Chain A
Amino acid sequence: MTTYRTKQDIEALVTPFQVHRDVYTSDEVYRLEMKHLFANSWVFVGHDSQTPNKGDYYTTQIGDQPVIQVRHSDGEVKVLHNRCPHKGTKIAIDRTGNTGKFFRCPYHAWSFKTDGCLLAIPLKKGYEGTGLDQTENGKGMKSVGAVMNYRGFIFARLADEGIGFEDYFGDSLSSFDNMIDRSPAGKLVVAGQPLRYMHRCNWKMLVENQTDTCHPMVAHESSAGTAVKIWEEMDQPEGAPKPPAMQIIAPFMSPYEFFEDMGIRTWPNGHGHTGVSHSIHSDYSEIPGYFEKMSEAYGEEKAKQILGENRHNTVYFPNIMIKGPIQQLRNFIPLGPDKTLVESWIYRLVDAPDELVARTAMYNRMINAPTSIVGHDDLEMYERAQEGLMSDGLEWVNIQRLYKDGEDFDTQAEENGTTERQMRNQFHAWTKFMTLSLPSEDALEAAE
């Protein structure tokens, strides 16, 4: 049975402050997300420092589409569908590698330039006069619709036509700018491997949780609260150096007022961030020599301005979050309605002291690893929600905190840090990009 076919079917799943549970549980909705939402929006692919040299490639996926990020012979980063145009074999299987000047399919040795163009086919005379060169497959590996390298971060839009990169992200790029400007050289380089953490829940639960400021003191009491308790029991003299866990994990126990005051900013197209005025990252200790390097590079005033911005989590719709102050990016990769792979990447600030990337790596493992005592309770909440949503007792999920009639998501707004406005903003964008390429009821009826 097909329940969701038209624009109207999808629009009916989202009200101004409620969302139908099918958006988290239905396989049909998931398939439509892959076909429409992830094709029409700009999705994160990778960082260009993962493919620094010509022929370097990195395999990943956009929604459910396998793709290759590759450095072409002209020095540009290309994003290609990871599929041989002949029989569909994935061209690259390694997560990273160098393919030299061309890709070669391991099945029948069709070969392609690193921009996807067909280079050669063995025993090519077998195709003479067959019209292969008239087909789309005869041209080579297919590129995605559009690619943008924004200061080293590679994004792609699968659809050939659609919204431009700047229009899609607008002023939200200020969070990327702040993260990158924190390098005295204005440049980031990927550091080590990403954490890979499997979640048996819908990908949107993770995205929503990034700006959910009413859960840390509840869900993470067992880790953050216990850390505070142990530290108090140790009865250290005032000013004694605190263990790293106190700096990284304990702020999760901050009271509601802290999160209310920090503020939330939302931008059009589903982007937004917590921590307008301050955040749990504000009180990290200073790293010796860093401010001097920043002042040298930018001048003291600009350096202060860059480091004074302590945004917490910035969501780039649909499925990544970055932390500017600690150079972390989390990619929520949907693998099914109830399965999400979370990759948590960290980056080194070029020309900054090593202590900064060490703190970032510490945050990543303490909070976002499959072995993290903070991550354990988050995953527990998501998986309980995924199971609970199967209940037919109630069909709707509530995102009404600090809701106001007539909310306008096409303009930027700053509000109380505990509002669920950013979640509503995401669903506003969700409906927009889901339905962009779906037929309306009338059109479908006319076609039938």
Chain B
Amino acid sequence: MTITKDDLIDFVYDEVRMLDEGRYDDWLNLWTDDGIYWMPLDWKQKDEVNETSLMYEDQFMLRLRVERLTGARTFSQKPKSRCHHVIQRPYVDKIDNDAAAFLVTTQMHYVETRLDDQFLLALTAQHELVLKDDALKIARKRVDILNCDAAFGNIQLLP
């Protein structure tokens, strides 16, 4: 099968829709078994593990994060948060069908709300995608927050 530019762009749109609609089981299925979600703490951070990152999460950690959201004693989610992504048309940086390796960069605004509070983050998400059993999967997602050096309150859902 051949992946087109449209396939890659649709993939990113579908992913944020899953997050906004809280379809987390579908979302977890988008990942490879060793896929990593990285959110740097520092602007243009290069070293993800020997310095502090905001997130550097394997599939166990992402599953834990998602299952916790629906737990009976998840106090910080009583009441629950909601989120909303507004994305620009993704830049398709690499389509290599021979190697089944793809790179997509997307600028977006992320809004999260709970009770009377709402905040906005400007983000750049970079998806490294691969083909597994004829389906696109996320091997690595890097999310850079424009004001990563600012102090935040709780960021509870997934930008």
Contacts from A to B (Cβ < 8 Å):
95, 191-200, 219, 221-223, 225-227, 229-230, 243-246, 249, 341, 344, 346, 348, 354, 357-358, 361-362, 364-366, 369-371, 373, 375-377, 379-381
Inter-subunit contact B42/A358 (CB<8 Å): no
| Range for the number of chain B residues in contact with chain A | 35 or more
Which of B17-25, B63-71, B100-108, B133-141 is found at the contact surface with chain A?
B63-71
Within 8 A of A (CB), among B57-80: 58, 60-61, 63-65, 67-68, 71, 73-77
Chain B residue, CB-CB nearest to A379: B154
Q: Secondary structure at chain B's binding surface: helix, strand, loop or mixed? A: loop
19 sample A-B contacts, Cβ–Cβ < 8 Å, listed by A number: A191-B52, A194-B52, A197-B151, A221-B71, A222-B73, A226-B68, A230-B63, A243-B60, A245-B64, A341-B151, A361-B49, A361-B52, A361-B53, A362-B56, A365-B53, A365-B56, A370-B153, A373-B68, A377-B74
Given known A-B contacts A371-B155, A376-B154, A379-B76, A226 and B67 have beta carbons under 8 A apart: yes
Within 8 A of A (CB), among B91-143: none
Chain B residues near A341: list those with CB within 8 A.
151
Contact A222 B74 (CB under 8 A): yes
Are the CB atoms of B54 and A365 closer together than 8 Å?
yes
B73 touches A197 (CB 8 A): no
Judging by beta carbons under 8 Å apart, are B75 and A219 in contact? yes
Whether B75 contacts A192 by the Cβ 8 Å rule is no
**Is A193 a contact partner of B54 (Cβ separation < 8 A)?**
no
Any A CB within 8 A of the CB of B50 = yes
Tell me which of B41, B55, B60, B74 contacts A193 (CB under 8 A).
Answer: B41
Given contacts A193-B51, A375-B154, 15 further A-B contacts (CB under 8 A): A191-B52, A192-B45, A192-B52, A193-B42, A193-B149, A199-B153, A219-B75, A226-B67, A243-B61, A354-B50, A361-B52, A361-B53, A376-B154, A379-B76, A380-B76
Interface residue from A199, A227, A348, A361 paired with B64 (Cβ < 8 Å): A227
Contact of B67 among A197, A230, A344 (CB under 8 A): A230
Chain B residues packing against A (C-beta within 8 Å): 39, 41-42, 45, 47, 49-56, 58, 60-61, 63-65, 67-68, 71, 73-77, 149-156
What residue in chain B is nearest A356 (Cβ atoms)? B50
Nearest chain B CB to A97 CB, angstrom units: 14
Cα(A369)–Cα(B152), bound, Å: 9
C-alpha spacing A361/B50, complex, angstroms? 6
Which chain B residues border A222 with CB–CB below 8 Å?
68, 71, 73-77
Residue of chain A at shortest CB distance from B48: A361
Question: Which A residues lie within 8 Å of B45 (CB)?
Answer: 192
Chain A positions within 8 Å of B75 at CB level: 219, 222, 377, 380-381
A371 to B154, CA, bound (A): 6
Q: Do B151 and A376 have beta carbons less than 8 Å apart?
A: no
Output the nearest chain B residue to A328 by Cβ-Cβ distance: B52
Contact A365 B52 (CB under 8 A): yes
Contact B153 A373, beta carbon cutoff 8 Å: no
Q: Please give me the 5 A-B residue pairs with the lowest Cβ-Cβ distance, nearest first.
A: A192-B51, A243-B60, A196-B151, A222-B74, A380-B76
Does A226 contact B64, Cβ atoms closer than 8 Å?
yes
Contacts of A377 in B (CB 8 A): 74-76
**Which of A225, A227, A370 has most B Cβ within 10 Å?**
A370
Contacts of A219 in B (CB 8 A): 75
Residue of A nearest to B153 (CB): A198
Q: Which residues of A contact B152 (CB under 8 A)?
A: 196-198, 370
Closest Cβ neighbor of A199 among chain B residues: B153
* Closest chain A residue to B158, Cβ basis: A371
Find chain A residues with CB under 8 A from B64 CB: 223, 226-227, 230, 245, 249, 373
Alpha-carbon distance A245/B62, docked complex (angstroms): 10
Residue of A nearest to B117 (CB): A200
Per the bound structure, the CA–CA distance linking A95 and B150 in Å amounts to: 12
Q: In the assembly, what is the distance between CA of A61 and CA of B15, in Å?
A: 42
Q: Which residues of B contact A244 (CB under 8 A)?
A: 58, 60-61
Could you tell me if A200 and B153 are in contact, using CB atoms closer than 8 angstroms?
yes
Chain B residue, CB-CB nearest to A194: B52
B76–A364 CB distance below 8 A: no
Contacts of A225 in B (CB 8 A): 71, 73
For B54, the chain A residues whose CB sits under 8 A away are 195, 365, 369-371
Query: How many angstroms between the C-alpha atoms of A380 and B71 in the bound complex?
Result: 15
Q: How far is the CB of B64 from chain A (nearest CB, A)?
A: 5
CB pair A195–B41 under 8 Å, yes or no, is yes
A198 shortest CB reach to chain B, Å: 4
Q: How far is the CB of A339 from chain B (nearest CB, A)?
A: 10
User: Which of these, B58, B61, B76, B150, contacts A376 with CB under 8 Å?
Assistant: B76
Residues B53 and A196 in contact, CB atoms below 8 Å apart: no
Q: Nearest chain A CB to B44's CB is how many angstroms away?
A: 12
